[in-house]
Amino acid sequence: MVDKAVSFLTSQVTQRPAIAVVLGSGLGDFAEHVSDAIEVRADTIPGYPVSSVVGHDGKLIFGTIRAGGRSSLPLLVFKGRVHFYESGDLKTATFPISVAAALGVRYLLATNAAGGINPAFSEGELMLIEDHINFTFLHPHLSDQRSDPTPFHTASSSPLHKEMKKYIHEAAGALGMSLRSGTYCWLKGPSYETKAEIEMLRRLGADAVGMSTVPELILATELGMKVGAVSLISNMAAGLSKGPLSHEEVSETATRVKEVFKSLLEETILRIKD
């Protein structure tokens, strides 16, 4: 199915992207800042999974970031993602990453909305993902049959690439923006966590929690991409926030910080060099 999607896309768009950006919950507006944009709707691409979550539009945008006389490497923005909990299938959830790799993408910048677990964090802050905890114990290659000599046991002690972390830190510094950094924990969802679960994750060293991104980072790294990721702390997690959590609260925070988020992403993307 990936091959079909890729031949369709290469028949529509001649540009070959070097950087892919995945936009998380409520963060899709960033796509409006892509110059020379060619937009392809996900539901027109053969085999491409379409998200049913509010705030996940289902569009691929090819183009460039231009700002202050500078322009980025060719870019592919995934507006909206398909979460594991929608299909229960990791091959489906990571389909965009397989497509990006087949198109020649070498850098991945993943974004998400996450619940803050570190009590020092506040709603609306941005966090560079320094490391992650895969609390689903799933893997995109689980149950794969390997007929080729590709090793099953790949190193994953530094899943986030140091070059990408550097670009993100430098971008925040250049913008005079405060940026948290920490460990992101991936849970399957789709319900938000209990207070006891959040307390457990805090003791295990998680700074933020969410339902996405980690499988993308794992697969992209295996496919040879340099990966970086940023979380928007859209709410404090269960037990650390006042009322019950809702998807609306997540989206509202994302709307409130969209300018800051846009600046960090733009500045990071402009720094990525071949």
Catalytic residues: 25, 56, 83, 85-86, 113, 211-212, 235, 247
CA separation (Å) from 239 to 196, 197, 198, 234, 249? 8, 10, 7, 15, 15
114 token code pair: 């996450």
Q: Does 210 bind ligand HPA (CB under 6 A)?
A: yes
Q: Does 261 bind ligand HPA (CB under 6 A)?
A: no
Q: Which of residues 212-251 bind ligand HPA (CB under 6 A)?
A: 234-235, 237, 245, 250
d(CA 83, CA 213): 9
Q: Does 113 bind ligand HPA (CB under 6 A)?
A: yes
d(CA 140, CA 138): 7
Q: Does 257 bind ligand HPA (CB under 6 A)?
A: no
Stretch that binds ligand HPA, among 6-14, 60-68, 111-119, 170-178 (CB under 6 A): 111-119
Q: Does 114 bind ligand HPA (CB under 6 A)?
A: yes
* For the chain, the helix, strand and coil percentages under 3-state DSSP, each to the nearest 5: 35, 25, 40
d(CA 234, CA 73): 29
Q: Which of residues 138-197 bind ligand HPA (CB under 6 A)?
A: 192-193
Stretch that binds ligand HPA, among 101-109, 113-121, 126-134, 262-270 (CB under 6 A): 113-121
Q: Does 97 bind ligand HPA (CB under 6 A)?
A: no
Please count the residues of this chain forming the interface with ligand HPA, following the rule CB under 6 A: 13
Which of 39, 252 has the CB closer to ligand HPA? 252
**Number of Cα atoms under 13 Å in the Cβ half of residue 143:** 5
Q: Does 9 bind ligand HPA (CB under 6 A)?
A: no
Within 10 angstroms of residue 256's Cβ, the number of other Cβ atoms is 15
Residue found under tokens 């999607």? 5
Bridge partners for 125 per DSSP:
none
C-beta of 231: minimal distance to ligand HPA in Å? 9
Stretch that binds ligand HPA, among 7-15, 63-71, 110-118, 149-157 (CB under 6 A): 110-118
Q: Does 209 bind ligand HPA (CB under 6 A)?
A: yes
Contact criterion met (CB below 8 Å) for 197 and 133: no
139 token code pair: 């893997």
C-beta of 197: minimal distance to ligand HPA in Å? 9
d(CA 190, CA 217): 20
What 3-state class would DSSP assign to 41? Answer: strand
Q: Which residues bind ligand HPA (CB under 6 A)?
A: 113-115, 192-193, 209-211, 234-235, 237, 245, 250
